[in-house]
Structure 1
Amino acid sequence: MNRRSFLTSTAVPLLAMANKNPEAKAAVISRRVIVIGAGISGLAAANTLIARGHSVVLLEGRSRIGGRIATSSLWGDAPVDLGASWIHGPTGNPITPIAKLAGAPLVTTLSDSQIVYDTAGKPLDAAGSTKLESLRTLIEKAITSGQNTLSTDAPLQSVIEARTAWASRTAAEQASMRYLINSDYEQEYGGASSSLSALWFDQDSDFSGKDLFFTKGYRSITDYLAKGLSIQLGQVVTKVRVQSGQVYVDTKTGTFTGDRVVVTLPLGVLKSGSIQFSPALPTAKLTAINSLRMGLLNKCFLRFNKVFWAEKYDWLGYIPTLNGRWAEWCSLSRQTGQPMLVGFNAADFGGQIEFWTDAMIVQDAMVTLRKIYGPSVPDPVGYQITRWGSDPFSYGSYSYIPVGAKGKMYDDLAANVGQMIYFAGEATNRKYPATVHGAYLSGVRAGTELV
Structure 2
Amino acid sequence: MASQPKAHVAIIGAGLSGLRCADLLLQNGFQVSILEGRDRVGGRVHQTKLSNDHWVDMGPNWIHGATGNIIRDLALETGTGIDDLDDKSCAFDETGVRLEAAESTKYETIMWETIKEAFTYSATSEAKVDPQKSLMDFFQEKVPLRIPDDEPNAEAQRKTVYQMCETWGAFIGSPITKQSLKFFWLEECIDNENLFCAGTYHKVLERVAKPVVDKADISFNTIMESITYKINGKDKITVHPRSGNSREFDEVVVTTPLGWLKKNKTKAFDPPLPHSLSTAIDAISYGCLEKVYISFPEAFWRAKNGQPEIVKGFIQWMSPTYHPELNANRWSQEAVELSSLSADDAHPTLLFYTYGAQSQWFTSELAKRPDKKDKAAFIISYFEPYYSRLPNYTADAAACQPVDCIATDWLNDELAGNGSYANYQVGLEKGDEHIRTMREGLPDQGLWFAGEHTAPYVALGTTTGAYLSGEAVAERIVEKYARFQ
Q: Same fold (TM over 0.5)?
A: yes
Per the alignment, residue 392 of structure 1 pairs with 414
1:259-274 pair list within 5 angstroms: 259-273=250-264
- Larger deviation: 144-153 or 186-195? 144-153
Distance in 2, Cα, partners of 1:230 & 1:446: 19
Say if 2:447 is the partner of 1:421: yes
Say if 2:335 is the partner of 1:329: yes
Q: Could you say which structure has the larger radius of gyration?
A: 2
Per the alignment, residue 309 of structure 1 pairs with 301
Instruction: Tell me the CA shift for residue 64 of structure 1.
Output: 1.6
Per the alignment, residue 13 of structure 1 pairs with none
Distance in 1, Cα, partners of 2:278 & 2:204: 32
Say if 2:133 is the partner of 1:155: yes
- Larger deviation: 257-266 or 139-148? 139-148
Distance in 1, Cα, partners of 2:468 & 2:408: 26
Give the root-mean-square deviation of aligned CA atoms: 2.8
1:6-405 pair list within 5 angstroms: 30-75=6-51, 77-101=53-77, 103-133=78-108, 135-136=110-111, 139-140=114-115, 143=118, 147=122, 148=125, 150-156=128-134, 157-164=136-143, 172-173=156-157, 175-183=159-167, 185-208=168-191, 211-227=194-210, 228=214, 229-243=216-230, 244-254=234-244, 255-273=246-264, 276-310=268-302, 313-321=312-320, 325=331, 327-335=333-341, 336-357=345-366, 358=375, 359-373=377-391, 374-376=393-395, 378-394=400-416, 395-405=418-428
Partner secondary structure for residue 11 of structure 2: strand
The 1:137/1:97 distance shift into structure 2, 3 A limit, reads: closer
Per the alignment, residue 22 of structure 1 pairs with none
Instruction: State, as a whole percentage, how many aligned pairs show the same letter.
Output: 26
The 1:209/1:276 distance shift into structure 2, 3 A limit, reads: closer
Distance in 2, Cα, partners of 1:236 & 1:429: 24
Partner secondary structure for residue 184 of structure 2: coil
Could you report, residue by residue, the CA deviation over 1:349-370 in whole angstroms, capped at 9, with x for unpaired residues? 2222111223333311111111
Normalising by structure 2, report the TM-score: 0.79
The 1:422/1:290 distance shift into structure 2, 3 A limit, reads: same
Could you report, residue by residue, the CA deviation over 1:125-159 in whole angstroms, capped at 9, with x for unpaired residues? 24522541464267448846974494521231334
Instruction: State the number of aligned residues.
Output: 422
Q: Does the CA contact (< 8 Å) of 1:175 and 1:320 recur in 2?
A: no
Distance in 2, Cα, partners of 1:187 & 1:224: 28
Partner secondary structure for residue 176 of structure 2: coil
Instruction: Tell me the CA shift for residue 326 of structure 1.
Output: 5.0
Distance in 1, Cα, partners of 2:112 & 2:198: 34
Per the alignment, residue 473 of structure 2 pairs with 446
Normalising by structure 1, report the TM-score: 0.85
Q: Does the CA contact (< 8 Å) of 1:304 and 1:380 recur in 2?
A: yes
Partner secondary structure for residue 360 of structure 1: helix
Distance in 2, Cα, partners of 1:372 & 1:174: 25
The 1:248/1:379 distance shift into structure 2, 3 A limit, reads: same
Q: Does the CA contact (< 8 Å) of 1:408 and 1:430 recur in 2?
A: no
Instruction: Tell me the CA shift for residue 430 of structure 1.
Output: 4.3
The 1:337/1:192 distance shift into structure 2, 3 A limit, reads: closer
The 1:441/1:145 distance shift into structure 2, 3 A limit, reads: closer
Could you report, residue by residue, the CA deviation over 1:303-351 in whole angstroms, capped at 9, with x for unpaired residues? 1111111465122222233677352111111322321110111223222
Q: Does the CA contact (< 8 Å) of 1:142 and 1:163 recur in 2?
A: no
State the one-letter code of the partner of 1:356.
E
Q: Does the CA contact (< 8 Å) of 1:136 and 1:177 recur in 2?
A: yes
Distance in 2, Cα, partners of 1:399 & 1:418: 23
- Larger deviation: 358-367 or 413-422? 358-367
Partner secondary structure for residue 53 of structure 1: coil
The 1:363/1:326 distance shift into structure 2, 3 A limit, reads: farther
Q: Does the CA contact (< 8 Å) of 1:181 and 1:193 recur in 2?
A: yes
Q: Does the CA contact (< 8 Å) of 1:121 and 1:372 recur in 2?
A: no
State the one-letter code of the partner of 2:295.
R
Instruction: Tell me the CA shift for residue 69 of structure 1.
Output: 0.6
Per the alignment, residue 463 of structure 2 pairs with 436
Q: Does the CA contact (< 8 Å) of 2:16 and 2:42 recur in 1?
A: yes
Partner secondary structure for residue 56 of structure 1: strand
Gaps of at least 5 residues in structure 2 are 304-308, 322-328, 367-374, 481-485
Gaps of at least 5 residues in structure 1 are 1-26
- Larger deviation: 215-224 or 285-294? 215-224
State the one-letter code of the partner of 2:424.
I
